């Protein structure tokens, strides 16, 4: 008898980011009229992983995420929401539906809903991306990928 692949849905963004290896989360400084991304990068540095939520509104969210080589998110999909990332710095390995590509500074990546995807910082230095979605969007993982 084949074991069923159990799915887990999670929409708690702070928990998701912590489970993805980010311990320094800045969640309470969002929705400022003007925010300087270069100043935030300078403030937090590139020696440790961190995230800073820039926008968190009813219509969308934008979170600046810095991760070290080998770090990234866990393989997942969103059943009811499209997502996109803008690569600010560094190189990433982007996997969508099992196909890997290298992406780097200045590129925009779009992921349609229901497409299984994962992104991992690559190279020797910190990589930074702007993740754009919504805070209440379900992230669906297999049992093995959720851990």
Residue 97 is part of a domain; what is its CATH number?
2.60.120.10
Report CA Rg, the chain: 15
Residues 6+ apart with CB under 8 A from 146: 8, 10, 19, 74
Residue 2 lies in a domain: no
pLDDT at 122: 96
Domain-located, residue 84: yes
Q: Is the pTM of this model over 0.85?
A: yes
How far, in Å, CA of 143 to CA of 48, rounded? 28
For residue range 84-117, what is the model confidence (pLDDT) as tens digits? Answer: 999 999 999 999 999 999 999 999 999 999 999 9
Domain count, the chain: 1
Number of Cβ atoms within 10 Å of the Cβ of 128: 24
The answer as to whether 118 is a domain residue is yes
H/E element, 145: helix 143-146
């Amino acid at each position: 008898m084949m074991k069923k692949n159990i799915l887990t849905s999670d929409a708690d963004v702070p928990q998701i980011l912590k489970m993805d290896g980010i311990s320094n989360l800045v969640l309470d400084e969002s929705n400022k009229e003007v925010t300087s991304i270069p100043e935030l990068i300078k403030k937090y540095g590139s020696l440790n992983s961190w995230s800073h939520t820039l926008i968190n509104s009813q219509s969308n969210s934008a979170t600046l995420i810095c991760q070290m080589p080998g770090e990234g998110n866990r393989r997942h999909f969103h059943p009811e929401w499209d997502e996109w990332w803008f690569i600010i710095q560094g190189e990433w390995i982007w996997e969508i539906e099992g196909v890997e590509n290298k992406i780097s500074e200045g590129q925009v990546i779009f992921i349609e809903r229901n497409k299984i995807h994962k992104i991992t910082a690559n190279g020797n230095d910190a990589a930074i991306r702007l993740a754009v979605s919504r805070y209440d969007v379900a992230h669906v993982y297999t049992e093995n990928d959720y851990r």
